[in-house]
Structure 1
Amino acid sequence: MVRKTTRITVALLFVAWTIDYVDRQVINLALPSIGETFGLSHGERGLIISAFFAAYALFQIPGGILSDRFGGVRIACLAVMLWSGFTGLTAAAWSFGALLAVRCFFGAAQGMFPGAALNTLGARSAPAERNTANGWVQSSNAVGTLLAGLLASALLSSWDWRAMFAAVSVLGLVALVAIRRWMPPPLPEVQTGAVRKARGATSTLLRSPVMWGFALMFFAYDVVVWGLNSWSASYLVERYRVPISQAGLAAIGPTVAAAVCAIVGGRLSDRFRGRPRRIIVPAMTAVAALLFLLPRLPSATLFVVCGTALSAAAGLCYIPCFSVPLRSLPANLNGVAAGLILFGGQLSGIITPAVVGYVVDRYSYTAALTMLIVGPVLAILAVLCVPQTTKSFLARFSTVTRLPEHTDGHADAPRP
């Protein structure tokens, strides 16, 4: 049974990460209005998304290192406070250049949060249940996306995009107060696997081809996620003439499916004791097939149905991208490990929205969405190359901690 400390931590991080995604995702539905305000092309609209991800990606690894050094809760609170301020400043942007600058600062602030959150979770959960707990936390991403769609649809139908950003910036205060007031103390180190790190452990992880293999896997996963999340609303408006006030509602099915399957993927990762290949190969094969079908459907209804199935299959792959490192490494290395893997995903966030916008301008939405098949292909190739179990993973990192390679407080020894 999951400990009370772990359950409370999951609940608080779920709330914070939901608000994180609301603040981040509302801009996707606001893009058509922002484009009209500043007279932007599709490519320039994509750059607004990419500006966020450039800073977000750059701060993933530093955020993880700072969290391992100074504590995840402290860095998480700092991140929430800063990103909420920059969400509010988005409403004050007076030009395309000013908007790009504000979104960069916003991305930097949010970039410190993921490593801090996973450091916080690692210090308050046992390795054998960590992927399940992380699955519940990461399901907040889909919930935040859903709430962003609902809030943006409601606010944009009554107010303009500037008023919407000013309103949602207040939500971060909720997360900040909740974390500071109710976050429980860490579990005893013997329960979390928080052992003394060997000298140079952080730099060893950052230089490791194995860790970069997991980062590549998450990059590939996010090619699909950010390609669709950034452009689905615009596609529905432009291809099927769906009103902007309803485009956000079309995300309900896909986001609920993604949330449920993130939880399932986390649970399966603990049950399989890692072994991401068992999940990613079949799920990403289905994603590739659905991506080919998606832009060739004759109606918005079929697009949403297909998108829901696609989101479910992709959602299964979220936690497996982290499962072996976070299960295998001690808790006091979770921040940097998560930051490195997330850095790979955010590189995709920098590249994919802008590339999709460019292909739409030069060719078509059909070509752009079909191009996203490179994501599942790359994910399958990456998962075939990385260690599948704690034992095989730790064999590559015998100098990182003082744990024996076959230890099994969090490895793969048979259960009694």
Structure 2
Amino acid sequence: MQPRAAYGSAGFLCGVAAANRRGRRLPLPRFWGGRRGKRVNRATGPFTGVIPRRFLLITGTFLLSVLLYVDRACISTAKEAITGDLSLSKEQWSWVLAAFAFGYALFQTPAGVLADRLGGRAVLAAIVTAWSVFTGLTAAAWNFVSLLVIRFLFGAGEAGAFPGMARVVYSWIPVRERGMVKGINFSGSRIGAALAMPGVAWLIHHLGWQLSFTLLMATGFVWSALWWAWFRDDPTQRQGLSRTELDYILKNRQDPERAAAPPEPLRVRSLLGSGNLWLMMTQYFGSNFTFFFSLTWLYPYVQTKYHLNAVDAGFYAMVPVLSGAAGNIVSGALVDMLYR
């Protein structure tokens, strides 16, 4: 197999190692920090024969995005069990779902400010711990009001995830790679939602909804501990990062022209006057309108309408969000292509 045909696979890694020994020229993709036709050298080349540390970072943020939406979508999968145990009406259930959205919306901007001031390491570790606590406390809800409050606080905890990840990407990822990285991270949200529908349904069937939520809480604690131990806010603080990769990150993580310009204070008036910001908000509103329907009401609708068991309904309901995951990755790649 030619190296070009094995990008992103174990075969590609083996091909690089073999070619390095023979001094061959390999067409490295830009995402690996190389340029087409550039000679690869283990000591000084853009690819040192090991997986770049920023790729491990992307794996961590991708898994965070998956966990974020498994925890978010599991409430939809558990609807019948929760409404039955707590004797909730459809209207009350709607308010439970809305409480999450209110908490999520109100705390996103403050969480972004905290991420800028404190860094992605502390903020992401703290918020994942916080929302995991409220995931577990969902299992302890005893009536409508208690569930309403817990889900509001759960939404407030989850609000900092994407702002925190944005700060991490800003610090670690070269500009020309950010479209793909953001696409990968956003695809994790769709994949997490897709996994939650049949996966959590299976857990609830075997363990009950309270224990299932408790296990999800424990998973969040594990991610937080690993993130705190491994990640550093600035790549210069990360031990084990090769000199080649560090130089590549520092040289390319900012647009040279903008990096040379003196920083301007960020004011609310300038943000609200930005046409690009309003375009992005409009796009995100449209995207989230359908996405949140898929997260909250699609699963119970499919299950009730077509008289499916819990797991089968999950497999049908996961189709739209998996399509969204593919769209995220393709869009991210297109953004990087346009930027270049």
TM range (shorter): 0.7 to 0.9
TM-score normalised by length of structure 1: 0.62
Deviation at 1:152, TM superposition (A): 1.3
Distance 1:197 1:27, change over 3 A: farther
What is the identity, as a one-letter code, of the residue corresponding to 1:111?
A
Distance 1:200 1:171, change over 3 A: same
Check whether the contact 1:156–1:245 (CA below 8 A) recurs between aligned residues: no
Look up the match of 2:273.
208
1:183 is aligned to 2:183 = no
What is the identity, as a one-letter code, of the residue corresponding to 2:254?
G
1:62 is aligned to 2:110 = yes
Look up the match of 1:114.
162
Check whether the contact 2:68–2:192 (CA below 8 A) recurs between aligned residues: yes
What is the identity, as a one-letter code, of the residue corresponding to 2:338?
F
Deviation at 1:205, TM superposition (A): 4.8
Note the alpha carbon deviations across 1:281-331, whole angstroms, 9 max, x for none: xxxxxxxxxxxxxxxxxxxxxxxxxxxxxxxxxxxxxxxxxxxxxxxxxxx
Alignment map for 1:74-89 (pairs within 5 Å): 74-89=122-137
1:256 is aligned to 2:304 = no
Look up the match of 1:42.
90
Alignment map for 1:5-404 (pairs within 5 Å): 5-183=53-231, 185-186=234-235, 189-193=250-254, 195=259, 198-210=263-275, 211-273=277-339
**For 1:221 and 1:236, how far apart are their aligned partners in 2?**
21
Check whether the contact 1:153–1:246 (CA below 8 A) recurs between aligned residues: no
Note the alpha carbon deviations across 1:26-56, whole angstroms, 9 max, x for none: 0011112222222223222121111111011
**For 2:279 and 2:76, how far apart are their aligned partners in 1?**
30
**For 2:294 and 2:85, how far apart are their aligned partners in 1?**
24
Look up the match of 1:318.
none
**For 2:178 and 2:321, how far apart are their aligned partners in 1?**
23
What is the identity, as a one-letter code, of the residue corresponding to 2:97?
I
Instruction: Tell which structure's C-alpha radius of gyration is larger.
Output: 2
**For 2:144 and 2:303, how far apart are their aligned partners in 1?**
22
What is the identity, as a one-letter code, of the residue corresponding to 2:165?
A
**For 2:96 and 2:285, how far apart are their aligned partners in 1?**
19
**Runs of 5+ in structure 2 lacking a partner?**
1-29, 34-51, 236-245
**For 2:217 and 2:336, how far apart are their aligned partners in 1?**
36
Distance 1:206 1:31, change over 3 A: farther
Note the alpha carbon deviations across 1:219-246, whole angstroms, 9 max, x for none: 1111111122211111112211112232
**For 1:63 and 1:96, how far apart are their aligned partners in 2?**
27
Distance 1:197 1:82, change over 3 A: farther
**For 1:213 and 1:32, how far apart are their aligned partners in 2?**
38
What is the identity, as a one-letter code, of the residue corresponding to 2:285?
F
**For 2:219 and 2:262, how far apart are their aligned partners in 1?**
37
Check whether the contact 1:5–1:124 (CA below 8 A) recurs between aligned residues: no
Q: Could you tell me the percent identity over the aligned residues?
A: 27
Quick one: higher RCO (CA 8 Å, sep 6+), 1 or 2?
Answer: 1
**For 1:18 and 1:46, how far apart are their aligned partners in 2?**
24
SS of residue matched to 1:169 = helix
SS of residue matched to 1:248 = helix
Deviation at 1:265, TM superposition (A): 1.1
**For 2:167 and 2:100, how far apart are their aligned partners in 1?**
23
What is the identity, as a one-letter code, of the residue corresponding to 2:265?
G
**For 2:294 and 2:195, how far apart are their aligned partners in 1?**
17
TM-score normalised by length of structure 2: 0.75
